[in-house]
Amino acid sequence: MKAIEYSAILERIGPCGLCCATCFAFEKGEIAQLSRKLQKKLGNFSIYAERFAGLLDNPQFGLYPAFAAMLGVFAGGGCRGCRQEECKLFSGCRIKECHRGKQVDFCYQCHEFPCNRTGFDDHLQKRWIAIGAQIKKTGIERYYLETINKPRY
């Protein structure tokens, strides 16, 4: 297994264990980068989408404005990661303040893990516990390598 710098892991994996790098909101992430590339490649396609709906007898082109708006959200990717700023997706997240207070890099390192002070909904709470258990079992480097190229959603 290729050795990974711990600082690279910290930049891309949040204290909770979610992979910031695979999040659509992460500004340095592949989703944001590819979305910006696609926006650039599509250029002024909206004009043609209207025409193609009729010319090609394909009403799907009429949905282009909604697609372009969603692509703009993905291309926006204005988050620098949970360690750099407050989480932009889960406004109730209390992990950042807790991990700093406990002086651990990741929740799974805390002697109180798992707890119920995350601020997560039930779905994310269960996912957080499973992620922490996986990291404990495999180690953070292996978890990082297994996660970094895997879809988050």
100 vs 3, more confident? 100
Residue type, 69: A
Nearest to 99 by CA among 84, 83, 87: 83
Q: Which two tokens stand for residue 60?
A: 């799907």
The DSSP output letter for 149 is T
What pLDDT is stored for residue 92 in this prediction?
A: 85
- CA proximity to 95, closest of 78, 112, 80: 112
| Identity of residue 17 | G
Q: pLDDT tens digit string along 130-150?
A: 999 999 999 999 999 999 989
What is the per-residue pLDDT for 2? 60
DSSP reduced 3-state for 14: coil
Which tens digit of pLDDT belongs to each residue from 44-78? 999 999 899 999 999 999 999 999 999 999 999 88
